[in-house]
A and B are shown apart, each in its own frame.
Chain A
Amino acid sequence: MTKVLPVVKLATKVAVAGGAVYVAYDSGLLGGGEEGAVALSKATAAIPPAVNEWAKYFGFEFPAAPKVEFSPVDAWNSGKPLWSTECVMYLMLFNINYVINYARLTSKTFQTSFTQE
């Protein structure tokens, strides 16, 4: 009995770990890129209703999950200036103009040249 028990223990452990790997592989979590995307879409479709059902069972309710609509291609620099880029450029120009004008108005050289005229 003392010799069998460790073997059974190890066999159980191997079975649990192997089962986890098998389930992950079988559900397409370890395959190619398209399989992974399909698995994620399946999971996002299946998990929220299941979570809501369990939450109702236990008597509380989760707030609705925020919808994230972001594609990295929108952040791609395709040569077309974005609204934020235009804002930054405008602010930079405004600042440069402001600094030049301030320097002109306050510098002695400008004032002397102005009075000399």
Chain B
Amino acid sequence: MSEQELRQKWDRCLADCAVKVGAGLGLGIVFSVVFFKRRTLPVAFGTGAGLGMAYSNCQNDLRSPYLLYSSDTKKQ
């Protein structure tokens, strides 16, 4: 993986993390207001879920050159 590719992946990871945390926070606020009488629990849950999604996406993105797909192994 070249340095340029790594740079792009990290940039994408940070952007994705900002988007996911923001979306989780927003949805958490909506759920908190609508269903949970303005308690902070859904906000924390949404933010945590957003962080987890971002982490998972980033891990998948960084591991992608080393992943072995079953379709490739069947060809061999």
Write the residues of chain A forming the contact surface with B, with a CB cutoff of 8 angstroms: 13, 16-17, 20-21, 24, 29-30, 32-34, 36-37, 39-41, 43, 71-73, 76, 78
The residues in B between 8 and 26 inclusive whose CB is less than 8 angstroms from any CB of A are 10-16, 18-20, 22-23, 26
What separation, in Å, do the CA atoms of A71 and B7 have in the docked complex?
7
**Chain B residues within 8 Å of A, Cβ to Cβ:** 3, 6-7, 10-16, 18-20, 22-23, 26-27, 30-31, 34-35, 53-54, 57-58, 60-61
- A73 B16 Cβ-Cβ under 8 A: no
Rounded to whole Å, the gap between the CB of A83 and the closest CB of chain B is 19
Contact count A vs B, C-beta below 8 Å: 63
Contact at A29–B20, with CB atoms within 8 Å? yes
